[in-house]
Structure formats: C-alpha cells, structure tokens
Amino acid sequence: MSKAHITFVLGGARSGKSRFAEDLAIKSGLSRCYLATAEAFDPEMENRISRHQEDRGPDWRTIEEPIELVQVLKDNAQKNTFILVDCLTLWLSNLIGREKELCTAFSEFIECLEDLEGSVVFVSNEVGQGIVPDNKMARDFRDEAGRLHQMLAEKANDVYFVTAGLSQKLK
C-alpha cells in the first residue's frame, strides 16, 4: 500500500471532475501542486490552459509535463503536498503520439505509487461508456484507457465518478 493517499476521479468531458478534484485539494489544507499533462498545439488549447490557470489562482504551483509523469511524481509527492494530476487520458494520448510502450509506462506508473507521500489525486476521462468507436485507433485508445483506469482504481484509496457536477464515491 502506498504511503500517499491516492484518489482517482473519473468522469466524462465537462462533467465537473477537475473542479471536484480541485475542491479536494483546497479542503486538504496542504500545499497544492497542479501537474498538467496537456500540451497546447493550437490557439484553442492555449486559451483553455490559460483559463484553467486563471481559475485556479496563485495558490497553486503548476508543473507542465506531458510524458514524464512518473519522474515528476517521484520528485514532488511529499508529506505535506497535495498533487492534482490532470489528466491521465491526455497523458495516454501523449504516450501514444510518441509511440511509447504502454505496458511498460503503465507498470512504471502503478509501481511508483508505492513510494509516493502526501496526497495525490488523478483525474481522467471515462471514454468507455459510449458507442463502440468506428475505427481501430479510437477502439485501442478506449481499451488502453480502460486498462489504465482499472489498474489505478485497484491501487487508489478512494475512487469517485463525477457526472453533471455531482460526485459519487465508488471506493
């Protein structure tokens, strides 16, 4: 079992999952770190990232890291720190885009949880509840996200599903 308190927050797009995770961080009273996995490849994404940063305000330290999630967690998960990782599906997209070996990346990620301290909340998009995608790449992405989510949910202390801004505790 991890020394850190691990929370997993899952939900659909615009479900309120990030806001719920941010509220958990604020209520913790700990020093807050936002680990962002998004990359801005176009003006719309640049605006989205800026809006998120403005909404969070100055009480957050932000680290932007699209690939080396494990190393950043190892370097920053400390006793009196709350890390919010947003989000795992973007991290997965980044790994796929750089043709990283997913089984290895997932294993290293799950293994690193054992050595973390403090509180860490992982946010991710549930992509497996819709229709079956019509192309192989989308089906593979959905399947890999599902595998990653199951692995994390098994290790997490708490798991929440957020819909329409309402959270439901699953574990």
pLDDT digits (tens, 9 = 90+) for 108-151: 999 999 999 999 999 999 998 888 889 999 999 999 999 999 99
- Identify the residue whose tokens are 């998004």: 38
Mean pLDDT, the chain, as a whole number? 93
Question: Parallel, antiparallel, or unpaired for β 166-169 and 158-163?
Answer: antiparallel
Two tokens, residue 138: 């989308």
The answer to whether the CB of 4 falls within 8 A of the CB of 28 is: no
- Identify the residue whose tokens are 């995608």: 133
One-letter amino acid identity for 129? Q
Examine the pLDDT at 88 and tell me if it is beyond 90: yes
If you average pLDDT over residues 4-15, what whole number do you get? Answer: 95
pLDDT digits (tens, 9 = 90+) for 31-77: 999 999 988 888 888 888 788 877 888 889 999 999 999 999 999 99
The answer to whether the CB of 165 falls within 8 A of the CB of 16 is: yes
Residues marked active site are found at 52
Other C-beta atoms lying within 10 Å of the C-beta of residue 15: 20
Examine the pLDDT at 2 and tell me if it is beyond 70: no
Architecture of domain 5-169: 3-Layer(aba) Sandwich (3.40)
pLDDT value at residue 10: 97
Q: Where are the domains of the chain?
A: 5-169
Distance from C-alpha of 64 to C-alpha of 139, rounded to nearest angstrom: 28
